Structure 1
Amino acid sequence: MTEPEGKRGSGGPLAGVRVLELPAIGPVPFLGMLLADLGAEVIRVDKLSASAGLADALAQSQLGRGRRSIGLDLRVPDGAEVALRIVETCDLLIEGFRPGVAERLGLGPDTVLARNPRLVYGRMTGWGQDGPLAPTAGHDITYLAISGLLHGIGPASGPPVPPANYVADFGGGAMFLATGLLAALLHARATGEGQVIDAAMTEGASYLGSMTRTFVARGGWKDERETNLLDGGAPNYRCYETADGKWLAVGPIEPQFWGVLVSTLGLGDTAPSPYDPAQWDACKKTLAEAFRTRTRDEWADVFAGLDACVAPVLTLEEALEHPHNVARKSFTEVAGAPMPAPAPKFSRTPAEVGAITPLGSGTAALLAELGYDDDAVGRLRESGAIA
């Protein structure tokens, strides 16, 4: 699944939106993929030659799909100038450099917005553009740590458990920047005024915890792991091991769903109550003993179609074949590998999965579109701006 120049915008809901994606890792490429899936024309700046680095690996992976690629050395003034020429044609720019790097390259917001006052300039970092931690390195686990959320994830008897890098990198970073970009794009189209979006992953992650903060404010949440309704503390919202060593996710919070669960398990009114914390330990023990009597898939068959809020805990591979995911076409294939299909689904302007394009494959065509003739291209090559 490769094309020489990449998808140039589909009929998706963002058709007609043009984006410049500067080199980055992780959540910035994910955001570029998201915008491209939704129909935007995304132009990704790549290094002049592939290396063993993560950024290049992601650019050539399923996460790098749907873009046009131009190979530029942004450290060379002529390379930065090409990027600015592209900026003049764009609606959005996304970057994930440490604070100050884009400015040193001549691609900071002041310079860019002077060239295109309508542009929305999206910046994604772990700590944000200012503050004492802004210039320091970090990863999802550290961004999540200072949000207060990591403290509450994991068993009471062990250390906090990082939830891969879903929460801060992709939830707190990419998805919040996507929201900011689209909100600012509406404003720019209405007023002609661009602006800068400062998306800090730790702040986005913290925002995701707003309901927990609300519970705390109302006295309904303890700041301790595995002691609350939604953190595995309650017996009716946790995972239970089955006879084959696999797991069931059990979440009948409401009494009507709890009634279906205990009735199906044959416990009737004999089960301790999940609504009395004093009975939680006894209730967990009762449910644990019941669920160990059958395999995970046997229980999944038993509860299929029932309003008991019970589901098998599937592996990544198993999820591909679950009947619900199959029926909704929740996964697709990109370059021979199964990948989540774009979400959400649109009734009039469906998202479209683009191809993976070779690094720098759109360089010649993009330069021609920007008005660079053969002599100008030759000078770019001599300066080292392009290969």
Structure 2
Amino acid sequence: MKAATKSAGALSGLTIIEMAGIGPGPFACMMLADHGAEVIRIDRPGARVDPTDVLARSRKRVELDLKSEDGRAAARELIRKADGVVEGYRPGVMERLGLGPEVLLADNPKLVYGRMTGWGQEGPLAKAAGHDINYIAITGALNAFGRAGEKPTPPINMVGDFGGGGMMMAFAMLAGVLSARSTGQGQVIDCAMTDGASLLMGMIWGFRAQGIWGDERGTNYLDTGAPYYDTYETADGLYVAIGSIEPPFYARMLEATGLSDDPLFKDQDGIEDRETRRARLTQIFAAKTRAEWCLLMEGTDACFAPVLSFAEAPSYPHNAQRQAFVELDGVMQPAPAPRFSLTPAPLPRAPGA
């Protein structure tokens, strides 16, 4: 990881109090801590520090019993001096603890109070249990993920928890702090994973309006409907990915696969023989190993990449040169991102370090 050892990070001077939780809230706070914010995590008494919990890196920790008067008083004192607080409880929990927005904003009028939930603070489902798969289901997003003719396939929990939740919260906290510093007034952020997941699909909603995207999954050019945007198995049982969308890139892919003069591939987006083209590409890619395809196509404008496992990714030459992964106390994990030229992120600290 390329980080100046003396850099405090772009967010040096920002203080965030994190109410310990799982998933998107900790991810947002990890992003803030990665770039130099002082994030103080309030844990329950006796909570174990898990050295493998990547999302808990680069934090300070305090243990407080929020069900006790002394614990709540200590939490209020920490938050009184902070720029923001992030909590991921169901609506009403913080109020019952005596730590709701009215109380904390009265203590600290510039406070940015971030509330991370799946369904949001209001609505018929606001107090119901749920997980990523449920949140993205009601937005239309889940219906778009999967192969043609098959059931919807959740892309693990990247869209709701982390893209639509944690990253939205990190953005919102910074936007809120900028506003508070210019206006002198803090505010409450209702960060719902349903809202965030919907926003992530903005381009697809635009495509639907333009008539170039259908609701039937696996039939559109970015969802494996197009043979030139798909994964293919190689002779050694591994996989490669191609994304040759633009005509010059498509032409380069045809050249590498020996199909430049094949009339079947002349019409890049022809629907009638699409599956015939896919079958032909499947046959061609299966004739060489992944390493052989890398020698032929890697680094070209064919828009090609090997499909790597977690075990392979850190040592892949491009990732290795960019130091895209870092090992902390024996735990391999992604390095902070994105990268700043003047205030690079400091080296992360393992949980509890």
Q: Distance in 2 between matches of 1:160 and 1:244?
A: 29
Matched residue, 2:19:
22
Is the 1:151–1:160 Cα contact (8 Å) retained in structure 2? Answer: yes
User: Within 5 Å, which residues of 2 pair with 1:127-166?
Assistant: 127-166=119-158
- Identical columns (%): 49
Is the 2:25–2:169 Cα contact (8 Å) retained in structure 1? Answer: no
Is the 1:62–1:334 Cα contact (8 Å) retained in structure 2? Answer: no
Q: Distance in 2 between matches of 1:185 and 1:238?
A: 42
What RMSD in Å do the two structures reach over aligned CA positions?
1.5
Gaps of 5+ in 1: 1-8, 362-387
Is the 1:67–1:354 Cα contact (8 Å) retained in structure 2? Answer: no
1:143 positional shift: 0.6
User: Within 5 Å, which residues of 2 pair with 1:32-111?
Assistant: 32-50=29-47, 57=50, 61-111=53-103
The change in CA–CA distance for 1:196 and 1:66 in structure 2 (over 3 A counts) is same
1:241 positional shift: 1.2
Matched residue, 1:331:
325
Matched residue, 1:348:
342
Residue identity matched to 1:302: L
What whole-Å deviation, never above 9, does each CA across 1:275-324 have from its counterpart, x for those lacking one? 21222112111211111110112101111221100111100111111110
Q: Distance in 2 between matches of 1:17 and 1:306?
A: 42
Residue identity matched to 1:186: L
What whole-Å deviation, never above 9, does each CA across 1:198-254 have from its counterpart, x for those lacking one? 100011011000000001111111101110010000111111111112111111001
Q: Secondary structure at the match of 1:220?
A: coil
Q: Secondary structure at the match of 2:312?
A: helix
TM-score, with normalisation over the residues of structure 1?
Answer: 0.87
Matched residue, 1:322:
316
Is the 1:10–1:40 Cα contact (8 Å) retained in structure 2? Answer: no
Q: Distance in 1 between matches of 2:76 and 2:7?
A: 24
Q: Secondary structure at the match of 1:333?
A: strand
Matched residue, 1:376:
none
Q: Distance in 1 between matches of 2:281 and 2:350?
A: 48
User: Within 5 Å, which residues of 2 pair with 1:212-291?
Assistant: 212-270=204-262, 271-272=264-265, 273-291=267-285
The change in CA–CA distance for 1:312 and 1:60 in structure 2 (over 3 A counts) is closer
TM-score, with normalisation over the residues of structure 2?
Answer: 0.95
Q: Count matched residues.
A: 346
Residue identity matched to 1:333: E
Q: Distance in 2 between matches of 1:336 and 1:329?
A: 16
Residue identity matched to 2:86: I
Q: Distance in 1 between matches of 2:140 and 2:101?
A: 31
Matched residue, 1:311:
305
Is the 1:65–1:353 Cα contact (8 Å) retained in structure 2? Answer: no
1:60 positional shift: 6.6
1:95 positional shift: 0.5
1:50 positional shift: 2.6
Is the 1:69–1:357 Cα contact (8 Å) retained in structure 2? Answer: no
Residue identity matched to 1:226: G
What whole-Å deviation, never above 9, does each CA across 1:79-104 have from its counterpart, x for those lacking one? 11110011111001100000000100
What whole-Å deviation, never above 9, does each CA across 1:121-179 have from its counterpart, x for those lacking one? 11100000000000000001111111111011011232111111111001000101111
Q: Secondary structure at the match of 2:224?
A: coil
Q: Does 1:116 align with 2:108?
A: yes
Residue identity matched to 1:225: R
Q: Distance in 2 between matches of 1:308 and 1:354?
A: 36
Q: Distance in 2 between matches of 1:83 and 1:10?
A: 29
Residue identity matched to 2:272: A
Matched residue, 2:291:
297
Q: Distance in 2 between matches of 1:301 and 1:95?
A: 49
What whole-Å deviation, never above 9, does each CA across 1:242-273 have from its counterpart, x for those lacking one? 11121111110011011111111111221423
Residue identity matched to 1:43: I
Q: Distance in 2 between matches of 1:295 and 1:350?
A: 39
Is the 1:146–1:202 Cα contact (8 Å) retained in structure 2? Answer: yes
Matched residue, 1:383:
none
Q: Distance in 2 between matches of 1:80 and 1:199?
A: 24
Residue identity matched to 2:111: L
Q: 1:170 aligns with which of 159, 162, 178?
A: 162
Matched residue, 1:199:
191
1:357 positional shift: 4.7
Q: Distance in 1 between matches of 2:83 and 2:188?
A: 12
Gaps of 5+ in 2: 1-5
